[in-house]
Amino acid sequence: MSSLTNKIAVVIGGVGGIGGAISERFAAEGAQVVATSRTAPLDGPATAVSPAEGGIRLQRANASSLADLKQVFDTVRKEEGRIDVLVINAGLSEFAMLGDISEDLFDRTFGLNVRALLFAAQGGIDLMQPGGSIVLVGSIADVVGTKGYGVYSASKAAVRSFARTWANELAVKGIRVNVVSPGPTDTAMMGAASDELLAALLKMIPLGRLGRPDEVAAAALFLASDQSSFTTGAELCVDGGGTQV
């Protein structure tokens, strides 16, 4: 039996990049996945969802919008009836050194990475039962002082902090909360980094390369599945050793 057979998984920001890899891996492991994206088609599933095998239902939603998030959970309540695994992946990063940080940059970053993540978790827990798992996509930036990354790093430190509190609060309900923290990973987000930054980041990584989205998805799968049944409040770094050695 696959590790997510008969599980309902919701991936907020579940198309493309790391979130897309998570949706695809979870579906391959037997989950019925609801994957949200601003660009998802308005009608119809992307792949067939059958009760017997995993599949992905796309739902258009802007993860920054609390109204859209409410719509996602209302639809899941109606269509799937429950959530076994909730992954909150949507996040953005923009560079600005202290002195050049605009209010808009701060609001955009904290609005998605912190505020929306909090309300997505709050919206999802009503649909979760004992045995449920919440996986937050953080970043190793939460413990690194990369120049120009101050707002992003602080937002991801908030994610790490939320996981500690929520793991404690939700333990009584039998729901686990963990963070998967990628290091530099080969997605559109990293594609936006300058060659100089990329070279500096690669120097920090003992394994000497960027991570792949499927490698982050494998770690998310561990945290989502019963394989990690005694793990909660933890941060699993998938960073080629960058913050570990």
Q: What is the set of active-site residues?
A: 152
Site for ligand NAP in 26-55 (CB under 6 A): 37-39
For 145, half-sphere exposure in the C-beta direction (CA atoms, 13 angstrom radius) is: 1
Site for ligand NAP in 130-169 (CB under 6 A): 137, 139
How many C-beta neighbours within 10 Å does residue 133 have? 26
Stretch that binds ligand NAP, among 47-55, 87-95, 166-174, 222-230 (CB under 6 A): 87-95
Query: Distances from the Cα of 203 to the Cαs of 94, 192, 213, in angstroms?
Result: 21, 18, 20
Taking CB under 6 A as the criterion, the residue among 4, 112, 205, 223 binding ligand NAP is 112
| Under rule CB under 6 A, residue 189 binds ligand NAP | yes
| Under rule CB under 6 A, residue 245 binds ligand NAP | no
| Under rule CB under 6 A, residue 5 binds ligand NAP | no
Alpha helix locations (H) across the chain? 17-28, 66-79, 103-110, 117-125, 150-170, 188-191, 195-203, 213-224
The backbone region for 61, taken as left when phi is positive above 0, alpha when psi lies in -120 to 50, beta otherwise, is beta
> Between 185 and 232, whose beta carbon lies closer to ligand NAP?
185
Stretch that binds ligand NAP, among 14-22, 77-85, 163-171, 220-228 (CB under 6 A): 14-22
Do 221 and 3 touch, CB atoms closer than 8 A? yes
Do 193 and 201 touch, CB atoms closer than 8 A? yes
Shortest gap between Cβ of 90 and ligand NAP (angstroms)? 4
Eight-class DSSP state of 211:
B
Shortest gap between Cβ of 216 and ligand NAP (angstroms)? 7
> Between 5 and 182, whose beta carbon lies closer to ligand NAP?
182
Q: Give the span between the Cα atoms of 136 and 233, in whole angstroms.
A: 10
Rule CB under 6 A: which residues touch ligand NAP? Answer: 13, 15-19, 37-39, 62-64, 89-93, 112, 137, 139, 182, 184-185, 187-190
